[in-house]
A and B are shown apart, each in its own frame.
Chain A
């Protein structure tokens, strides 16, 4: 990520997809790309963490067991508080989303790795999955009653059409804000890191006095890395939190 040597430093080169194994099925290109591989790594790490966490049941918990239990408790608490006990039906989905996004974000912070969540297609797909789940579950649970979500109670009839239009726009904007938030945060963070890394490299190759100055962007990178680690966690948290709130709307429409 931060620190390819060379005269021209391209901060968005890190996001380019590289085909590693060319596969085509019929008209579809299903090649294995670096994105695919990092997704697999994220899934593998999550499964590994959970497998180790679920294995040890005797004596004091190991660190990994404690970590996996913390992840479970954290997400379970979030689902319970946002969607109620009823929402625990969706716990598997919510937990998978959380751990996958968290792992992708954190793995992406390792230098020279690839950030899956900085690809908008990935985040859009995750957000659409949540959106479709909300709509399908809402209609299945409540039938046409679900559309009361768009009709707030206690609104005078003459402004109702306006309010309904606004509510529909507000509802449809959810997958957009849901996906763009995660994507933009990861993208912006990684570009910033790369730009400061570029400053470092340029100053180092510029001359004797400027070499000393290159400490400044380097210090900035250290600070930014800490911030990015926070953002990586926070974005996974926000994505999951909003998923719970949307599911709550599906389970209890009509506010």
Chain B
């Protein structure tokens, strides 16, 4: 950039213009958080309903399989054939239910049993994940 005008002057002027424009945009825009929450909600609505359905099933099955595998492994180690397999299969099923509840609970809040699957009763149900726990 070989210009005759003093580059510092030019840059300062540009920066001032940028600042005024930024201010102008900021006054026209709703507060900083609003648009972000809005887009988050949008993606939540369009994609996540379907992805939620796809997720729930695999979360449930995966936990049962892992539980069964752990039980089978313990049986193999301790030669106690059906005991641990049955026990951990059941624990796996419980873990699967917990996985599904957790996947469908509102994010950021506590783990609630009254989840997205159970209807409209939870007030903050569609709130996108806020502050990390």
Contact: A169 with B111, CB < 8 Å? Answer: no
Contact: B55 with A181, CB < 8 Å? Answer: yes
Contact: A169 with B91, CB < 8 Å? Answer: yes
Contact: A238 with B62, CB < 8 Å? Answer: no
Residues of B104-133 at the interface with A, using a CB-CB cut-off of 8 Å, are 107, 110-111, 128-133
Taking CB atoms, residues of chain A closer than 8 Å to B47 are 233-234, 237
Tell me the bound Cα distance from A86 to B131 in angstroms. Answer: 11
Q: Residue-by-residue, is A221-255 near B (CB-CB < 8 Å gives 1, otherwise 0)?
A: 00000000010011101100110010010011001
Tell me the count of chain B residues lying within 8 A, CB to CB, of chain A.
36
Q: Write the nearest CB–CB distance from A80 to chain B, whole angstroms.
A: 9
Contact: A172 with B70, CB < 8 Å? Answer: yes
Contact: A234 with B55, CB < 8 Å? Answer: no
Contact: B131 with A172, CB < 8 Å? Answer: no
Closest chain A residue to B61 by CB distance? Answer: A177
Tell whether B72 is near chain A: CB-to-CB under 8 Å: no
Smallest CB-CB A-B distances: 8 pairs: A177-B62, A173-B63, A169-B95, A176-B62, A173-B62, A170-B95, A173-B66, A84-B132
**Residues on A facing B (Cβ under 8 Å):** 77, 81-84, 86-87, 152, 162, 165-167, 169-170, 172-174, 176-177, 180-181, 184-185, 230, 233-235, 237-238, 241-242, 245, 248, 251-252, 255
**Residues on B facing A (Cβ under 8 Å):** 36, 39-40, 43, 47, 50-51, 54-55, 58-59, 61-63, 65-67, 70, 88, 91-92, 94-96, 98-99, 102, 107, 110-111, 128-133
With contacts A81-B36, A176-B62, A238-B51 known, what are 20 further pairs, Cβ within 8 A? A81-B40, A81-B130, A167-B95, A169-B66, A169-B88, A169-B92, A170-B95, A170-B102, A173-B99, A177-B59, A180-B58, A180-B62, A181-B54, A181-B55, A230-B50, A233-B47, A234-B50, A234-B51, A235-B51, A241-B51
